[in-house]
Structure 1
């Protein structure tokens, strides 16, 4: 009896709880739904972007043209064997500076000394013959005058004398040839210059036609510097001259400077002394040669250098720092501050570099204010604050170029999701590559933390709501 009463009482309480749960459950859900519909905090207005500017002005600007160039000896001489024979000795140190008349090689002289003696013997023989013919003629002439001898005898005597004279001349020529060949066995440098390595070794048999090249000697002072100008470059210069955008010096007397491989400037100034009138059919370029004094032998043949050609001027040129010019998807552009102090994007056409600046050929007018430092952080709806005037060169240390991560985070920035903050950090840090990743990562970490807090708060709210619902149900 008692057990049956207790079971009925428990069943009645369970039914009552179920009815209460059906009553309170919709009410609890409505309360939670209303609590989750709170409006997010309004985003704070972004602070103005600190920028520096440059005021556009036109002025005549000297311009330099840089070309890849190579040095060449102004006189490169092949040292060759002029007679055939065995190479006896090398008399110079390879790679050393040799003087005019310095002996470099000696060939075997014995055969040439013997040939000289033979030629001298032949000369003596012909001279003796000439003496006999002259004496014979001296005897024949008076006898012929007395008609003691025939006319033929006189003619024979005269002919023999002339033949002997010719033989003596030929013999003298043979002696000179033998002496010359003997002198050729001593091979000397014809100039002051730098010697190359020996192409033939001692004991080699050389002839003027085969194996006759023994070495080279390169004159170092003066030195030539050769560079090439392409057809496209030449046409571009001509077009700019026709438009009045470029002016060459009178009589095209350019100054040329050599920049060496380590970036140092060669102290001597050069001048252009030759321009090839024809283009190369292989490269489509034409050769230009500049000559430089090289008294210390600093420049060596075959060096790759940069030739900087100076003397041209761009009249009425507009220059802006390179960091002010941004690259869009199809064109270059700059930010110009209008009369209402708002940034406006302006498409420009750029020319050549000039140090740390761009030549602007179209798109800007005198007096306009162009944003330089801070341009990468400017958008069309940005507020800007001019903090200074930019100068050519790398970005200044002012606030305009400091990473945005170093400034206090704004409420708007704090409300961004991690991937949105990462994108914004990369956008603002793109101009300053060394800080870009640090900036982007910091923004992503900050955003991740804020997002995690929001997620944690939402989870806590859900857990609290579940607890209330459970308590209501119970």
Structure 2
């Protein structure tokens, strides 16, 4: 007989292999679960960080530029003719002919246009006839009054009747004077059919045509011509209050115009308004410059350079970095912790794309360019990596 006990007690080989596979599978499953939990936690953390980062706005900042050492105050100016007269019709009629056009030089009293006014001609003829009638009545009243005065001296008539004749003479004389004044008025009105230049200059506008009906004294009337004296020009500049103390009559300044690059024009400050405009905080000043070649045109824009220094400790800032609110003019400054601090600023001069800030900022501040409308004190922001370091000039 064979002993089978030892064979039954030993586990088969395939059973041991199955156990090892099961253990390995359990380990893999546990590792997969652990990895999934870790990946999910990591994704949640990344999402939280991304959400937090997105909730903090990214802003571009600029640094104000110091004005120290500029040595000049540059402001925009408006060029105007020394004298400019819009010429209107003073009588109703039709344009018969015009003799000058834009750009034509004219002399004082030169004929610009003729107007046909038949109604005025007829009124003048009637007034002259009425004047002759008044003169005839006055002559008759004078003769009658003289005769009654002679009869009164002989007691041939009563004093009452003589006084009545003298009174009639006075009334007829007054009527003659009134008719004479009417004739002179119509003669002057007829003279307005000749449109003449009031002074020497250049015709800068013409808005009339042959046969055009012109009506005097109405709100819709347009000037037939505009004559401007451009031998000299006036330049009007608004100077900030902070610099107005350095501006005095007789000061020579330099003008530059965009159509003449590299050319400078000399002008002299002639007068100042001696008052500060409450809305703009500036004082209006007038400059004058000779214009022998007509290069300075009325209505032109010019850059005016005053040989004075800017405001002490002033800085320049892009106009887009300034916030205008009901509580004042502000600039949003970012501190080292990325927090926003709204600074009250005071503007000196406005050059269009940039502003002079005379109070409220320093050159070391980081100012948000084009800040959001809803930005407030204490807001957290992050600075864009490619943000410009300085305000451009």
Match of 2:172 among 134, 141, 164: 164
- Determine helix, strand or coil for the equivalent of 1:166: helix
**1:132 matched residue in structure 2:** 140
**What's the TM-score once normalised by structure 1's chain length?**
0.47
8 Å contact from structure 2 (residues 232, 288) kept in 1:
yes
User: How many aligned positions are there?
Assistant: 248
8 Å contact from structure 2 (residues 253, 266) kept in 1:
no
Q: Distance in 2 between matches of 1:91 and 1:148?
A: 69
Q: Distance in 2 between matches of 1:296 and 1:211?
A: 33
1:100-249 to 2 correspondences below 5 Å: 100-208=108-216, 209=218, 210-230=220-240, 234-235=241-242, 237=243, 248=246
1:33-52 to 2 correspondences below 5 Å: none
Q: Would you say 1:298 and 2:295 are equivalent positions?
A: yes
1:410-449 to 2 correspondences below 5 Å: none
Cα deviation 1:301-355 (Å, max 9, x = unaligned):
111111111256999xxxxxxxxxxxxx99xxxxxxxxxxxxxxxxxxxxxxxxx
Cα deviation 1:427-451 (Å, max 9, x = unaligned):
xxxxxxxxxxxxxxxxxxxxxxxxx
Match of 1:258 among 255, 260, 266: 255
1:88 CA displacement: 2.0
Structure 1 residues without counterparts, runs of 5 or longer? 1-60, 242-247, 316-328, 331-361, 364-474
Q: Would you say 1:270 and 2:268 are equivalent positions?
A: yes
RMSD over aligned Cα atoms: 3.2
1:284 CA displacement: 4.5
1:194 CA displacement: 1.8
8 Å contact from structure 1 (residues 255, 272) kept in 2:
no
Higher helix share: 1
1:373-392 to 2 correspondences below 5 Å: none
Match of 2:87 among 66, 70, 79: 79
Q: Distance in 1 between matches of 2:234 and 2:170?
A: 57
8 Å contact from structure 1 (residues 78, 216) kept in 2:
yes
Q: Distance in 2 between matches of 1:252 and 1:133?
A: 67
- Determine helix, strand or coil for the equivalent of 2:71: strand
- Determine helix, strand or coil for the equivalent of 1:197: strand
- Determine helix, strand or coil for the equivalent of 2:202: strand
- Determine helix, strand or coil for the equivalent of 1:160: helix
Cα deviation 1:72-92 (Å, max 9, x = unaligned):
112221110111122222221
- Determine helix, strand or coil for the equivalent of 2:183: helix
- Cα distance change of structure 1 residues 135 and 305 upon mapping to structure 2, 3 Å threshold: same
8 Å contact from structure 1 (residues 94, 195) kept in 2:
yes
1:62 CA displacement: 9.5
Q: Would you say 1:308 and 2:305 are equivalent positions?
A: yes
- Cα distance change of structure 1 residues 110 and 266 upon mapping to structure 2, 3 Å threshold: farther
- Determine helix, strand or coil for the equivalent of 2:299: coil
- Cα distance change of structure 1 residues 280 and 203 upon mapping to structure 2, 3 Å threshold: farther
8 Å contact from structure 2 (residues 255, 302) kept in 1:
yes
Q: Distance in 2 between matches of 1:290 and 1:276?
A: 14
8 Å contact from structure 1 (residues 63, 314) kept in 2:
no
1:161 CA displacement: 0.8
- Cα distance change of structure 1 residues 181 and 314 upon mapping to structure 2, 3 Å threshold: closer
- Cα distance change of structure 1 residues 206 and 88 upon mapping to structure 2, 3 Å threshold: same
Q: Distance in 2 between matches of 1:292 and 1:159?
A: 65
- Cα distance change of structure 1 residues 193 and 252 upon mapping to structure 2, 3 Å threshold: closer
**What's the TM-score once normalised by structure 2's chain length?**
0.56
Q: Which gives a bigger RCO, structure 1 or 2 (Cα 8 Å, sep 6+)?
A: 2
Task: Select the structure of larger CA radius of gyration.
Answer: 1
Q: Distance in 1 between matches of 2:119 and 2:199?
A: 28
Q: Distance in 1 between matches of 2:149 and 2:299?
A: 74
- Determine helix, strand or coil for the equivalent of 2:295: coil
Q: Distance in 2 between matches of 1:294 and 1:253?
A: 18
- Determine helix, strand or coil for the equivalent of 1:296: coil
